[in-house]
Amino acid sequence: MYEAREFAIFSTTELDQINFSEVLETSAETVRKSVDGTKTFVKWDNGQSIPPSIQALTTVEGPYTYAEILEILNGPEWSAPMPVDEPTLVRARNEDGTFIADDPSTPNINEAWEVI
């Protein structure tokens, strides 16, 4: 489906120049933006010429194929790193609520703590 489309990247400062009836996005409010918010992109069906409002842009990059745009969008400019949650350690407890002690016979495991 997406393989039959072309894509162009451009500055968000030029969003007001896009004729959204020429592209497959619906409005300036629904486009995806780069992590820093300075770039966006639109797509159109492959085989159709580059839409006139895209041709008129001064910051346009592309057109790109689906495979090319995927590679670009997976880069750091378009995909913010996912935060890594640090594990939370709590004291391990028995069924009666008392603390579990560390077993000295298992030096590589600390039974007194558990990750939640």
User: Length of the chain in residues, anyone?
Assistant: 116
Give the pTM.
0.68
| Per-residue tens of pLDDT for the chain, all 116 residues | 677 899 999 999 999 999 999 999 999 999 999 999 999 999 998 777 899 999 999 999 999 999 999 999 999 899 887 777 778 889 989 889 888 898 889 988 888 898 88
- Residue extents of the structural domains in the chain: 2-73, 85-116
Token readout for 52 is 């006139």
Please report, for residues 30, 69, 83, 104, the alpha-carbon distance to residue 7 in angstroms, rounded to integers and kept in the order given: 15, 7, 29, 61
Listing DSSP states for 72-108 in one string gives HHTSTTTSPPPPPPPPPEEE-B-TTSPBPPP-TT-TT
pLDDT at 1: 63
